[in-house]
Copies of this chain bind each other. A is one copy, B any other.
Amino acid sequence: MIAEIDVAGANLTALNRMLASEPKVTSVSRAGDCIPGFTPNTILTSGAPMAWPQYHGGQRAALIGGALYEGLATSEEEAAEKFASRDIVIGACHDYGCVGSVAGIYTASMPVFVVSNTTYGNVGYCNLYEGKTSRRLNYGLYDEGVKERLDRLRDSVAPVLKRAIENAGGIALKPIVRRALNMGDELHSRNTAASYIFTDQLMPHFLDLPDVPTAQLKQVLALLTEDNYFFLRLSMAAAKVTADAARNIPGSTIVTAMAMNCRHFAIRVSGLGDTWFVGPEPTVEAKFFEGYSKEDIAWMGGESVITETIGLGGFAQAASFPLQDYQGGSPERMIEINLDMYKITQGENSDYRIPYFSFRGTPTGIDFRKVLSTGITPVVDAGIGGKSGGQIGAGLIRVPIECFQQAQFAFEAKYG
């Protein structure tokens, strides 16, 4: 059998489909209205899906917070009962074309960016950044302040963004990502430039909304650039539709998704459909906010690692030396780590390039066989959540080798 499978050809196809993808944000819409299969009692969360009792800590708290926010339950106890009885359905973000930041909670009434891959027609979604606070639903916290900020996103921010984006005829995201890589972003843990460029492209369209109160426009503007994290959700959605274009290519050993829940890291592989290959929690080298240490880490999910899946984030660290300030490390180490990623990828990105490497394309298309043959696992730039909820730091995490070993077993079983 093995001789009949053209792995090299399949992988080239997978890479080329990633490279030819053209992500474009076309609208902002209500999750329940635009995401196929999203029922009023659905809540999406990050990582390979698990049964309700498996969720613990911040991810469990975030799911309960989502149920309360959506009005599907009026107490934590009731929410837990309804999850257990499946009156509230837990879905995996990736199965709905979504990607979750940290715990990644999507409820039906939440606004989402709608991002199309204009080359292949596939569509992805990402919900909106909650703003400059360590108290966020996606970090497992829910209280009146969190609710207020979510309400503001839905009622004030989303309608303005929707109109501006639609009036602009959509905004192509690849050119923004490409430019941001020249401006210190790696589009996972640093999205400063991309947030400014995106805002700048929307500005003329904000001016075309004279019926929107100035105070509301200012609120939207503030969210877009106050701490320059806003664009991450668009970077994630762009990466999702890019990676999805490389799914389901028979014989391909290219990784098409990586994701965490509160217990496991997991990956998907193009030639192996939508099966998740699961490993333990990742290892971590982090810089902690004042007062926190490694002992305080709590995993609560995370799918922003979709950016690494298509050659951004940790795979573009050498484009983002200022990131050392946020997540530790040194320029030398960032360069070394970035160069290592070329050893486990299928090729170099034709659009996303690193100025320090004389505009060499970023390493793109993780080949699980190369991970196994080199022992080098993908590096991920990531925010770190704490046991008491909220963000406590940022740093590098490594995808566990076990995910790739599991994929290898399955690949052999399927293809011989």
8 Å CB interface, A186-222 against B: 192-193, 196-197, 199-200, 203-204, 206-208, 210, 214, 217-218, 221-222
Determine whether the beta carbon of A214 is less than 8 Å from that of B207: yes
Asked if A330 is at the interface of the complex by the 8 Å CB criterion, the answer is yes
Asked if A225 is at the interface of the complex by the 8 Å CB criterion, the answer is yes
Shortest Cβ distance from residue A362 to the other chain B in the assembled complex, whole angstroms:
14
Asked if A321 is at the interface of the complex by the 8 Å CB criterion, the answer is yes
Asked if A182 is at the interface of the complex by the 8 Å CB criterion, the answer is yes
- Please classify the interface of chain A as helix (H, G, I), strand (E, B), loop, or mixed, using the class held by over half of its residues: helix
Asked if A183 is at the interface of the complex by the 8 Å CB criterion, the answer is yes
A204 to B225, CA, bound (A): 12
The segment from A92-100, A106-114, A288-296, A353-361 found at the interface with B is: A353-361
Among B183, B210, B221, which residue has its beta carbon within 8 angstroms of that of A184?
A: B183
Asked if A159 is at the interface of the complex by the 8 Å CB criterion, the answer is no
Asked if A322 is at the interface of the complex by the 8 Å CB criterion, the answer is yes
What is the size, in residues, of chain A's interface with B at 8 Å between Cβ atoms?
32
- Bitwise, A341-371 to B at CB < 8 A (1) or not (0) is 0000000000000011111000000000000
- Bitwise, A90-132 to B at CB < 8 A (1) or not (0) is 0000000000000000000000000000000000000000000
Q: Write out the residue numbers on chain B whose beta carbons fall within 8 Å of the beta carbon of A196.
A: 193, 196-197, 200
Shortest Cβ distance from residue A51 to the other chain B in the assembled complex, whole angstroms:
45
Q: Write out the residue numbers on chain B whose beta carbons fall within 8 Å of the beta carbon of A206.
A: 207
Q: Write out the residue numbers on chain B whose beta carbons fall within 8 Å of the beta carbon of A325.
A: 355, 359
User: 29 A-B contacts, Cβ less than 8 Å apart?
Assistant: A182-B184, A182-B322, A183-B183, A183-B184, A183-B193, A184-B184, A184-B193, A193-B196, A196-B196, A196-B200, A199-B200, A199-B203, A200-B225, A203-B203, A203-B221, A204-B218, A204-B221, A204-B222, A206-B207, A207-B207, A207-B214, A207-B221, A208-B214, A210-B214, A324-B358, A324-B359, A325-B359, A331-B357, A331-B358
